Amino acid sequence: MENNEKTKGKKRIGAAFGTLRFQMIAIMLLCYLLPALLLGFFTQTVLLESMRDKTEAALSSSVEHAWTLTTQQVEHAIFLARDAVYDGELADAYEDWRAGAIPDAEFLRLSRAYVDRKYSREGLFTFAAYYPVSRPDLFIYTRSGYQGAMTFLSGMQSDALRLGESLDTGSRFVEKDGKVYLIRNLMNLRMERYGMLVLGIDTEQMFSPIAQLAETWQGRVALRLDDAGDIDAPWDDLTDGLSVQRSNILYGKESQSDEYRLRLLVTLDQRTQYREYYQFRYLAIGIQLLLIPLLLLIAWYVNKRLIKPITLLSNASRRIENGELGVTVPMRGGDELGNLGVAFSNMSRRIEELIDKTYKEELALKNAQIQALQSRINPHFINNALEAINWEARMEKSTAIPAMVSALSVLLGASMARQDKRIVTLKEEMEVADAYIYFVEQRFGDSLSVTRQIDEAAEGCLLPLLTVQPVLENAVEHGIAPAGGGEIILSCRMTGSCVRIEIVNTGKTIAPEDRLKIDAALRGETSGGTHLGLANIADRLRLIYGGQAAIEVFSDGERRTVARIDVPQREM
C-alpha cells in the first residue's frame, strides 16, 4: 500500500509538472532569470575586467607622467642650490670679508646681489637666504622674500644650523610649521663649511603635477620628500607600482639618490573609480526588482486569459472523449479564446444532435459497405498472395517476375492506401511512379525512353497520394501508345513556395478534339469517360488547396505534350 501511495504521488507530481500552467510559469521565470544571470555574468566579468584594465592603464600613465614632472622640478631645485657652490661668488665674497678686505656692508651688498640675481626670478622658490655659519645674524635674503625669510629666521634657523653639521656636501628638504625648505651647506675649495643656503619651496608650484593627479582621479595622495611631507602614510610597506588592497587601488613610486629621496603613494577608492560599473549594476538590479511586479501581473493575466480557458476546453474535450456528449464551457466571445469557447460549445451540441439523428445509421451503412468490400478484395490476402508468387519466382531463379511483383505490390499499396496516408512526400510518390514506369518499360521495351530529373531539395515536399502516377499513365495511354513509342521526361523542382512537377512526352500531339476533353477534365468534368486521372487529380487539388494549386496540359514549342502541376508547400 505504501509503495502504491508513493507511485501515485510521483504520478501526481509528474502530472503537475506537465501541465500548461507549470510550463508557462517555468517559461516566464526562465525569461526573467536567464537575462538576469547573463547580465550579472557580463557586468561581473567582461564589463568589470574591461573597466579595471582601462583604469589601471590610465592610472599608471597619469602617475608616471606626474612623477616625471615632479622629479624634474625637485632635481631642478637641487641643481640651482648646487650652483651657489660651483659659482664661487659667495665663497670669494666671504673670503674677502673674513680677511678684512671688505667691510660688512660691502659683504652684505655682494651677497644679496648674488642671491637676488640667482633666485628671485625662480618660480619654485618663495625666498632664498644665505648666512655665514660664523655669523648667523648676518642673514641675507632676496628682497621679495621678506615674509618667508622672517618665518624661517624665527622658527627654523637654529634647527638648520644643527642639521648642517651632519649634512656635509649634500642637500636636504625639511619642513617646519607647514613650510618646506631646501637647505644646503656652502663649501669652499678647501671643503670647509663657511655658510648655509636656504631656499623656501613653493609647494604648490613644485608639486602641482601631483595635485593635478589627485584632482583628476579624485583620490588621496601622500608625498614624502626627504624630511618634508606626509609622515603618517605607510611608507615602510610601500610597493612600487599598482596594487589592490580591500576596496582601494594603490599606486606607489619611490626615487632615491645621493641628493634626495622622494616617495609617492596614490590611494583611490574602487567605488569612485568604477562608479559607472556600480551605477550600471544598481540600475540592472533595480530593473530586475521592478520587473517582479510586472512578471506577477503577466502571470496573473496569462493564467486568467489563457491557461484557465484552455484548461476548461481541455477538461470539456476529455469529457466528450469519455462519451459525455453535449458538454459546453462557460466562455463568451470578445477575443479569440472566447470565440473558440463559443464555437466549441456550439460544435459539442451539434455533434450530439448529429449522432442522435444520423451518425449511427450512417456508421452502420459504412460498416456494411466496408465489410462487403473486404469480402471481395482483402488487402492482406492480396499482399500475402503477391509475397507467395514472389518467393515462388525466386525459387525458380527468375529475375523479371520478382521485380514485377514488387512493382505491382507498390502500385496496389498506393491504390488501396494501405498505410492510410492521404499526403505523402515527393520521394514516396516517386516510388509509386517508378513502379508504374517499370511496367511501362517492360511493355514498350526499347521504343520508350524515360528520363528522371528530380531535385534533391524537393524530395521532402508534400503532395497528395497518387498525383504523379495517374498523369504518367495519361501520358502513356494518350501520347506514347498511339505513337508506338517515344520519350517521357519527368522533372520535379522547387519554384518559389511550390514544388513543380512536369511530365513531358514526345508521343501523339494534342488534337483539337483532345484539347476540349482535356480542358473538361481539368474542370472536373468527365463526360465520355476519358482522362479520368486528370479529372481526379484536379478535383483533389481543388479540395485540398483551393485555388493555390494549379494543373495544366499544353503543347510546347517542340510539339511535345507537357503536363505541369504546381503544389504549394504549406503546413498540411
* CA distances to 182, 224, 401, 405, 406 from 396, in Å: 124, 112, 10, 14, 16
Please, what sign has the CA dihedral across residues 63, 68, 70, 74? positive
Under the banding of pLDDT at 50, 70 and 90, the label for residue 377 is very low
Q: Tell me the CB-side half-sphere exposure of residue 439, using CA atoms within 13 A.
A: 17
Strands (E) in 270-348, as ranges, are: none
pLDDT per residue over 238-278, tens digit each?
888 888 887 888 898 998 888 899 999 998 888 887 777 66
Length of the chain: 572
pLDDT at 529: 58
Segment 474-478 mean pLDDT: 91
- SS3 string, 25-38, reads HHHHHHHHHHHHHH
Residues 245 and 48: their CA atoms lie apart, in Å, by 17
pLDDT at 480: 93
* CA distances to 368, 391, 418 from 380, in Å: 19, 16, 9
Please, what sign has the CA dihedral across residues 273, 278, 280, 283? negative
Domains and CATH numbers, the chain: 54-272 (3.30.450.20), 276-374 (no CATH), 423-568 (3.30.565.10)
In degrees and rounded to multiples of 5, residue 166 shows phi and psi of -105, 0
Judged by average pLDDT, the poorest of 137-141, 265-269, 323-327, 438-442 is: 323-327
3-class SS of residue 330: coil
Question: Could you please report the per-residue DSSP string of 477-501?
Answer: IIIIHHHT-EEEEEEEEEETTEEEE
Q: What is the mean pLDDT of the chain?
A: 81
pLDDT per residue over 10-21, tens digit each?
556 555 555 666
pLDDT at 42: 61
Q: Which residue do the cell numbers 568589470 mark? A: 48
Torsion angle, alpha carbons of 31, 35, 36, 41, to 10: 150
Task: Give me the helix-helix angle, 146-155 and 157-167, nearest 10°.
Answer: 80
Of all residues in the chain, the percent with pLDDT exceeding 70 is 79
Q: What single-letter amino acid sits at 284? A: A
The CA-to-CA distance between both ends of the chain, in Å, stands at 48
Residues 323 and 334: their CA atoms lie apart, in Å, by 30
pLDDT at 326: 75
Secondary structure letter of residue 377 according to DSSP: -
Cβ–Cβ under 8 Å, residues 150 and 141: no
Gyration radius from the chain CA atoms: 53
